[in-house]
Structure 1
Amino acid sequence: MRTIPFTDARANLKQVIDNVVNDVDVTLITRRDAPNAIVMSQEHYDSLMETVYLLRSPANVAHLERSIKQLRAGKVKPHKLDEADT
């Protein structure tokens, strides 16, 4: 994560936006007498919101936890996504 003062961000806004989009990163914009802000690409934001949405469901969380346990226990068999489950 990059950190940049507000005055620099304002003077270089295009560069700040290009950096977060091209590098799939976020930038923290600091302000002296006000709360800070984060700049990120829409793609990054959408991905985070999808994760938050999926983790709101206790059933999804439980399924994910079971899947991780199976992976760590070596009970996962790799297959291609286009293969039918058997």
Structure 2
Amino acid sequence: MRVVNYTEFRNNLTENLNAVNEDREIVVVSRMQGKNVVVMDLDEYNSIQETLHLTSTKANRKRLEDAIAEMNKGKSVKHKLIEK
């Protein structure tokens, strides 16, 4: 995680945004007035949102934990992808 002040972020905008996209770096922009801001890659953000959704209920968490345990015990079956 990179922490930069607002001026540094603005002055090096391309460099900071490239670090976010190419290196999956999370940039925290600290501000003198106002709250700090987090800048992150959209794919990373979407991944976090999906994880939050999948673990949002007790039933979903249990189902995922059971599936992971089953895979770890070698009880999973591999299938070929069906391509259309």
Q: TM-score, normalised by structure 1?
A: 0.77
Letter paired with 2:74: V
RMSD: 2.1
Letter paired with 2:25: D
Give the Cα–Cα distance (whole angstroms) in 2 for the partners of residues 18 and 30 of structure 1.
Answer: 19
Deviation at 1:28, TM superposition (A): 0.6
Give the Cα–Cα distance (whole angstroms) in 2 for the partners of residues 47 and 81 of structure 1.
Answer: 25
Q: Which residue in 2 is equivalent to 1:47?
A: 47
- What do residues 3-62 of structure 1 show as CA deviations (whole Å, max 9, x unaligned)? 111110011111111101001121111112321000001111111111111111322101
Give the Cα–Cα distance (whole angstroms) in 1 for the partners of residues 28 and 65 of structure 2.
Answer: 32
- Number of aligned residue pairs: give it: 81
Q: Which residue in 2 is equivalent to 1:75?
A: 73
Give the Cα–Cα distance (whole angstroms) in 1 for the partners of residues 17 and 53 of structure 2.
Answer: 26
Give the Cα–Cα distance (whole angstroms) in 2 for the partners of residues 22 and 53 of structure 1.
Answer: 26
Letter paired with 2:39: V
Question: Cα 1:63–1:78, aligned 2, differ >3 Å: closer, same or farther?
Answer: closer
Structure 1 residue runs of 5 or longer lacking an equivalent are: none
Spell out the pairing of 1:30-41 with structure 2 (5 A cutoff). Answer: 30-41=30-41
Question: Cα 1:46–1:81, aligned 2, differ >3 Å: closer, same or farther?
Answer: farther
